[in-house]
Chains A and B, each alone.
Chain A
C-alpha cells in the first residue's frame, strides 16, 4: 500500500473472447495528478478507463484506488465518478435533478440534495440553468452539467472519456482550461482519455501513450515530447521527423530542422511537397529522394528569407544534438 498513488493498475488485462483489448498494463497515477491516456482509436485507452470506472470487468490483474484493492467492487464503492463521452445526461430530468441524481440514489432529502446540486451548478458556471432540460442546452453546457453531476459525488478520482471531442475548437480550449482549474482547486485525480496529443500535452501531469493494448511511454508531457522512446510515440505525439540515420531510427523535432543550405550537421536532399502558413510558423512538408516524409517548422520571418515554394529541391538539415535515437 503506497499512499503516494491514487490509482494503481497492476498487470491489468482485458480480453473480449479471443481478442486482447488491454494487455497486462501497469500504471501508477500520483495523488491529485492529471493523467491523460493518449492513443489512436482501438489502442485500449477507453477500455482501461472503463475498467477503472468499474463499467468493464477486469479479466486479469488488480486495480488499487488509494491503496485499496477495488478490482471486484461496483463503481460507487470505488470512489470514482465518470463523465461520459456523450455526457449521458438523463433526458427526462432537468439540470438540477441531473446533478442531484447520485444524492437522490443515496437517499439524501430533496431540499438538501437540491441545495448541494445548486452549489455544484455554480461551480461549473451553470447556476442559471437549473430548470432547463438537457435537450435545451448546447454541447458545452451539457458537458458542464455532466461535470457537475460527476463532481457532486465527491470522487477521489474523476474519469473523463474523450470529454472535449464533441466541442468546437474554440470551446475545446476554454473547457480545457476549466478542467485544469477544477482539478487544481478540487485537488482530486483526473484520468482523461483522449486521442488528441495537444489536449494531453496541455493538461497532463502524467501522459500515458498507448497503442495495441499496451503502454508505450509514460511521463510528463515535456519528457515524452523531448525524448520519445519509439517511432510510434514520436509520430503520434507529432512535431517530429522520424528518419533512418546511420543504421538507427532517429527522431528530430521539426522546429529544430532548417532548410539552411550551408548547414553544418546531418542533412538530406528533399523536394517541397507542400507549404502551410500557420501564423507564427510555416510548415514546409518534404518528400526525400527515398520517399520518406518529413516536415520543417520555420518561424515566419525565417520563411520569408528563404522563400521556398512547392516543387523546390531543398536540403534540410538538423543539429547533431537534436537527433534523438529511438529504440528499434
Chain B
C-alpha cells in the first residue's frame, strides 16, 4: 500500500530528471564553448593580423601609400640585400650566444636549487631572489646596466681603483658584450623555471640507482639528469630564443645603435612608411621562429610535460 502511494512521487521525480536533462548542452557544444575565448583571442589578435601582413607583404608601395599587387620584391630584398642579411645574422648570432649562456647558467642554477638546497624554505627564498627583479620593467633593468658598465661607470672605477687597468675598459658598454649581458640578465630566469620544474620531478632514487650501478657524477648527469630534464630544457630554450628573436629594445640601447635586431630594422621601415617590406620582414621572422620552435618540439614532447 505504501509502495503504491509512493509510486507517483517516483514518477514525477523521473519526469523532472528528464526535463532537467533536456536543458543540458550536448558535450561537444560544451567543449566548443570552452575553447571559444582563447580561439577568439588568437584569431583576432594573431591569425588575422598575420594574414594581413602576409597580404600586405606582396603589395606595391611608394612614399605616399601602398597599392594592392602581387610582388615578390620585398622578399627578394630581404634575401639579397647585404644589410638585411647582416641584421638577420646578428640576431641569430645573439640568439645562439644568449641561448648557450642562459642554458648553462639556468641549468646549473636550477640544479643547485633542486638538488643541493635541501631546505624547502631556503629554496623558496632563492627562487624569490631570482624572481623579484622581474617585478620591475625590463626597460629599467636594461638601462640600469649603463651606469654600471659605462666608461666612468661603477665597474670601470672599481677595476681602475684596484689597479688592474689604467685605462677604462671601453668594450663593456655599447658593444656586443653589453647586449649579451643584458639579454642574459633578462632571460636566464626563463630558463631556470622550466628546467627546475622538470628537475624537481626526477625521483632521487634514480640518482642512487645510477650511483649503485657505478655511474660517476658526470655519467649520472649525462645519462639520467639531462635526459630526464630534456622537456624543461626545450621549454626554456623556446622562451629564451623567441624573446631574443623578437627583441626590439635591448639591442638598440645596449649596442648604442651599433647593432640592429630584426624587429628594430622592421620598426625603422614602418617609420619610413615602407609597410610591404616591414610586413615581409615580419612574415620571415615568424617563419624562422616557428621553424626553430618546431624543431625543438620535434626533439621533445613538451605536451607530455604540460599534461603532468
Q: How far is the CB of B161 from chain A (nearest CB, A)?
A: 46
Of the stretches A82-90, A123-131, A166-174, A183-191, the one at the interface is A82-90
Say whether, besides A86-B203, A88-B203, A88-B208, A105 and B214 are in contact (CB < 8 Å): yes
Of the stretches A29-37, A73-81, A250-258, A306-314, the one at the interface is A73-81
Contact of A74 among B206, B210, B211, B224 (CB under 8 A): B211
B208→A90 contact, CB < 8 A = no
B205→A92 contact, CB < 8 A = no
A76→B214 contact, CB < 8 A = yes
Say whether, besides A104-B223, A105-B219, A105-B223, A88 and B214 are in contact (CB < 8 Å): no
**B215 at interface by CB-CB < 8 Å:** yes
In the complex, what residue of chain A is closest to B204 when comparing beta carbons?
A88
Which of B209, B212, B223 counts the most chain A CB atoms within 10 A? B212
In the complex, what residue of chain A is closest to B213 when comparing beta carbons?
A102
Say whether, besides A76-B214, A106-B214, A153-B214, A88 and B209 are in contact (CB < 8 Å): yes
Residues of A within 8 A of B214 (CB): 75-76, 102, 105-106, 153
Q: Interface residue tally of chain B, by bracket?
A: 10 to 19
Which of B203, B213, B214, B219 counts the most chain A CB atoms within 10 A? B213
In the complex, what residue of chain B is closest to A76 when comparing beta carbons?
B214
**B26 at interface by CB-CB < 8 Å:** no
In the complex, what residue of chain A is closest to B224 when comparing beta carbons?
A90
**A206 at interface by CB-CB < 8 Å:** no
Number of residues from A at the complex interface, CB < 8 A = 25
**B257 at interface by CB-CB < 8 Å:** no
A55→B208 contact, CB < 8 A = yes
**B227 at interface by CB-CB < 8 Å:** yes
Residues of B within 8 A of A149 (CB): 209, 213
A76→B213 contact, CB < 8 A = yes
**B87 at interface by CB-CB < 8 Å:** no
B212→A81 contact, CB < 8 A = yes
Contact of A84 among B208, B219, B228 (CB under 8 A): B208
**CA A82 to CA B210, docked complex, whole Å:** 10
**CA A213 to CA B215, docked complex, whole Å:** 31
Residues of A within 8 A of B205 (CB): 84-86, 88
**A120 at interface by CB-CB < 8 Å:** no
Contact with B along A93-109 (1 / 0, CB 8 A): 00000000110111000
Residues of A within 8 A of B228 (CB): 91-92
A105→B213 contact, CB < 8 A = yes
Contact with A along B16-42 (1 / 0, CB 8 A): 000000000000000000000000000
**CA A84 to CA B213, docked complex, whole Å:** 12
Contact with A along B293-305 (1 / 0, CB 8 A): 0000000000000
Residues of A within 8 A of B208 (CB): 55, 82, 84, 88
**A270 at interface by CB-CB < 8 Å:** no
B209→A84 contact, CB < 8 A = yes
Q: How far is the CB of A143 from chain B (nearest CB, A)?
A: 13
Residues of A within 8 A of B212 (CB): 53-55, 75-76, 80-82, 150
Which of A82, A105, A153 counts the most chain B CB atoms within 10 A? A105
Residues of B within 8 A of A89 (CB): 209
**CA A288 to CA B164, docked complex, whole Å:** 89
B213→A55 contact, CB < 8 A = no
Residues of B within 8 A of A85 (CB): 205
Residues of A within 8 A of B219 (CB): 105
In the complex, what residue of chain A is closest to B227 when comparing beta carbons?
A92
Say whether, besides A91-B228, A101-B223, A153 and B209 are in contact (CB < 8 Å): no
In the complex, what residue of chain B is closest to A106 when comparing beta carbons?
B214
Residues of A within 8 A of B211 (CB): 55, 74-76
17 cross-chain CB contacts under 8 A? A55-B208, A55-B212, A75-B212, A76-B213, A81-B212, A82-B209, A85-B205, A86-B205, A91-B228, A102-B214, A105-B210, A105-B213, A105-B214, A105-B215, A105-B223, A149-B213, A153-B214
Q: Which 7 A-B pairs have the closest CB atoms?
A: A102-B213, A76-B214, A88-B209, A88-B205, A105-B215, A105-B214, A92-B227
Query: What would 5 more interface pairs be, CB under 8 Å, given A82-B212, A88-B203, A90-B223?
Result: A55-B211, A84-B205, A92-B228, A101-B223, A105-B223
B-to-A contact residues, CB < 8 Å: 203, 205-206, 208-216, 219, 223-224, 227-228
